[in-house]
Structure 1
C-alpha cells in the first residue's frame, strides 16, 4: 500500500521513497488514531502527512525517549543538530536522516513555511527544562509550537475552498485541541516524567496542586478536587473543539472526512474521561476499536464519494 501511495504522489526517487516509507512506519506504529484518519485521504496526500508526523515523532522521541545517560544539554544539542539538518535539507533536498529528507521534500512541494518547524523545535526545547505551566497563556506558548503549528503545516496538504488565512485559525485550534486532549488522557504518564501540562492557576482554583496530583497518582485514583479540575479542563477543551469544527467545511471536500474523523475520535477521548467520572488515574482513556470502526466506515464512504466526484469533474473538464 505504501508503494501505491508513493506512486500516486509522483515520488519516484528511490532514496525519497525510502525516506517516506520510514515516516509511514512511524505513523503506523505510534499515531494509531491519526494513522487511521490519514487512510481517509487520497493516496497522493498521504506521504506528505506521514512526513509531517514522522518528523514530529522523531524529534519528540529525542526528548521523551532519550539515549541512556542523556542530559538536557545533550538532548538540546541533538535538537540543534536536527534543526541544522532540516535547514540543510530545505536548502538542498539532501540529508542523512530519512525523516528530515522526507519532511524537506514535503515542505518544498507544498510551500510550508519553515518558521512552523522552528516553532515546533522551540517547544521541544521547552520540554527539556519546563516542568509546570503557571497560566494558560504560558501553556499556549508551548502548545503553539507543539500542536497548533501542526495544524498549520497540514493545511497546504489538505487544501482549502476558503481563503487559507480564514481557515488557519481553525486549523491551529484543532491542533491545540488534540494536544490538550492528549494532556488530559496522559496526566499520570506525564507526572511520571515530572511534567504537568495543565495550567497551575486553573488547578489551584479547584484546590489542586502538583502534590495532590502526585498523591492521586500514587494511590491510583483521583479525589473529588482533582475530578472537578479535570472536568473543568475537559469543558475548556471542548470549547476549543467547537471553535475548530467549522474549519472542516473550509477544507477541500476530499480532505474533510479525514479531519472530521480525527475530530470525532479525539474528542471521543474526552467522552471516555467523562465516562470514567474524570478519574484520569484509574486507567488510560481510549477510544475502542469498535468505536473507531463505526466512525471510520461511513467516513471512508464519504471520502470515496468526494474523490469520485472530483475525478469525474476533472474528466468532464478535459
Structure 2
C-alpha cells in the first residue's frame, strides 16, 4: 500500500477514533484491512451526517450534499487517484477496489439526510422505517461488503435483510436516546400515530413529560419494537466470520444495553442524552466476543 493511501486511511481512522463513540469499539476487533475499510465508510458517513446536523443554511447544506454525492460518483467511476486531495475519497476508493462494497448505500444515506433537510415527519412506523433504512440500514448493508458472508445468493440476500433490520434497531435506539435533543432542533422522528396514541403529540420540549401523556407507555412501546428488531437482526451473526461477528456483536450489544437503560428510566431521555461510560462499552465489546465464541462452541457440540 502506498504512502498516500496509508495516510488517507490514517486520517479516516483518526476521525473514527475521535467521533465514533460506539462504532469504534466494534471495529477494533477486525483485522487491519477490514478495520481500515470500515473507517473509510465511517468517515464518509460522518461527513454526510455533519452536513445535516451543522449550522449552515439549508441551501448551503444542499450544496454540500451535492458536492459529497459528486465525490461519491467519482469514487464509483474509478476517477479518484491516490494523489487526490480528499483523504476520505482516497481511502473509500481503495476500499471499494479491495472489497465488494455496494456504494449505492452511501447514496441512500445522503437521501436520508435530505429528508431531514426537508423536515420530513413520519405518520406511521412504515414511514419511519423507510427513513431508518436510508440512514442506518444502508450502513449495515455496506458493512456486509467488508465483512463478507456465506457464498450462496440466497444466504447473501438473507444476510442483507438481517443487516438492514439490525440497522433499524440501532437507529430506533438512537431516536429514543436523542428525543429531547432532536425536539430542541425542531425534529420529531417517532411516528405521529404512536405519539397520538400515548398523548405525546405536543412534543418533548422540557425535562418532564407532556401534561397528561403516557410517556412511559410510549417508551415501553418503542422499546418493545426495538427489541424485536434486535432479535431478528442478530440472526446475521452466525453468517459472519469470527472477527466480523464479534465486531457486529460488540456494536449491537452497546446499543442493546443502551436501550435497556432507557427502558429502566424512560424520563432520562428528557433530561439529557443517555450514554454508557467507556469502561462499560469496552466490557460489552469483550463480552460480545466471548459470547460469540461460546455460541459457536455450543453449535459444534450439537
TM-score normalised by the chain length of structure 2: 0.88
Q: Would you say 1:205 and 2:197 are equivalent positions?
A: yes
Q: Would you say 1:168 and 2:168 are equivalent positions?
A: no
Cα offset for 1:201?
A: 0.8
User: CA 1:90–1:15 in 2, change beyond 3 Å: closer, same or farther?
Assistant: farther
Contact 2:100 2:146 in 1 (8 A): no
Q: Which residue of 1 aligns with 2:147?
A: 158
Residue correspondences, number: 286
Aligned residue among 16, 24, 32 for 1:43: 32
Q: Distance in 1 between matches of 2:57 and 2:3?
A: 36
Contact 1:58 1:99 in 2 (8 A): no
Q: CA RMSD in A?
A: 2.1
Q: Distance in 1 between matches of 2:159 and 2:173?
A: 21
| Correspondence list, 1:1-318, <5 A | 12-66=1-55, 70-91=56-77, 92-94=79-81, 95-161=84-150, 163-209=155-201, 211-214=202-205, 217=206, 220-222=207-209, 225-299=214-288
User: CA 1:299–1:233 in 2, change beyond 3 Å: closer, same or farther?
Assistant: closer
TM-score normalised by the chain length of structure 1: 0.84
Q: Distance in 2 between matches of 1:117 and 1:293?
A: 28
Q: Distance in 1 between matches of 2:64 and 2:250?
A: 35
Q: Which residue of 2 aligns with 1:9?
A: none
Q: Which residue of 1 aligns with 2:300?
A: none
Cα offset for 1:301?
A: 6.0
Cα offset for 1:90?
A: 2.4
Contact 1:59 1:79 in 2 (8 A): yes
Secondary structure of the residue that 2:72 maps to in structure 1? helix
User: CA 1:213–1:165 in 2, change beyond 3 Å: closer, same or farther?
Assistant: same
Q: Distance in 2 between matches of 1:198 and 1:302?
A: 33
Q: Distance in 2 between matches of 1:146 and 1:263?
A: 16
Q: Deviations over 1:207-240 (max 9, x none)?
A: 111x2422xx2xx123552222122111111111
Structure 1 alignment gaps of length 5 or more: 1-11, 306-318
Cα offset for 1:137?
A: 2.0
Secondary structure of the residue that 2:272 maps to in structure 1? coil
Q: Distance in 1 between matches of 2:241 and 2:272?
A: 38
User: CA 1:117–1:289 in 2, change beyond 3 Å: closer, same or farther?
Assistant: closer
Contact 2:74 2:80 in 1 (8 A): yes
Secondary structure of the residue that 1:268 maps to in structure 2? helix
Cα offset for 1:278?
A: 4.5
